[in-house]
Amino acid sequence: MTEELLDKALVEEATKKSGLIWVRSDGVPVLGAQSPAASSRALWHVWHDGAACLMGDGPGEQPLPDLVDGGGAVVTVRSKDKGGRLVAWSAKVVELTPSSPEWEAAVAELKGKRLNAPDGEAMTARWAQECRVLRLEPTGMTGEQPTGSLAAPPLPTPATTRQPIPAALPRLLRRKRKRR
């Protein structure tokens, strides 16, 4: 019983303090050295009422992995100071119904953490129409700690900042050096 309470406290504290969690559907096999972490997603979240709450799958929002209501998920939490894997825990996925009391409470917490929202105060109405709000309720420790680095190339995304440098940039940089 004491070990179970300690595990629950570790999951809660580690998840509260971490800005990101890595989430994959429970149906995805354990990652190994040859399997890239393409099935796990780094997601921002908030810890609210005993569960990790997250929002996504809408235009301009974070893409969620293949999580289904009532299904399972595996959550990996990193250490805030060292950045390494701290704990992995299994979760039950609960999709919240828009405008329900649970949805309203979760969204009130999430909107405070959403950075650079394009629509400000209207974002909650947009979330109700276009996005999914999920609760990942802990069901226990997974006991699995994958070996290796699990480093993988980033997943394809339309959100990119890599573009060729403007042709005039090298000349502009040379002029600044000459003026000094």
Spatial neighbors of 158 by CB under 8 A, at least 6 apart, are none
Phi first, then psi: what are they for 2, rounded to 5°? -65, -40
Q: What is the mean pLDDT of residues 93-108?
A: 94
- Across-strand partners of 74? 24, 90
Q: Can you say how many angstroms the Cα of residue 80 is from the centroid of all Cα atoms in its chain?
A: 14
**What proportion of the chain, given as a percentage, has pLDDT over 90?**
38
The band of 34, judged by pLDDT with boundaries at 50, 70 and 90, is very low
Beta-bridged to residue 85, according to DSSP, are 78
To the question of pTM greater than 0.85 for the whole model, the response is no
Topology (CATH level 3) of domain 2-179: Pnp Oxidase; Chain A (2.30.110)
**Predicted confidence (pLDDT) per residue in 111-165, tens digit:** 888 888 778 778 899 999 999 999 999 998 766 666 677 677 777 777 766 677 7
**Beta strands, E only, 57-153:** 72-78, 85-95, 132-141
Residue 122 Cα to chain centre, angstroms: 22
Q: Positive or negative CA dihedral for 39, 136, 46, 132?
A: positive
DSSP single-letter state for residue 31: P
Report pLDDT for 38. Answer: 45
Buried b (16+ CB within 10 A) or exposed e, 38-51: ebbbebbbbbbeeb
What is the structure's pLDDT at 36? 40
Give the C-alpha separation, 127 to 170, whole Å: 44
Average pLDDT of span 16-39? 68
Question: Which strands form 85-95's sheet, in the order they lie side by side?
Answer: 41-44, 20-25, 72-78, 85-95, 132-141, 51-56, 46-48
Q: Which residue has the higher pLDDT, 25 or 146?
A: 25
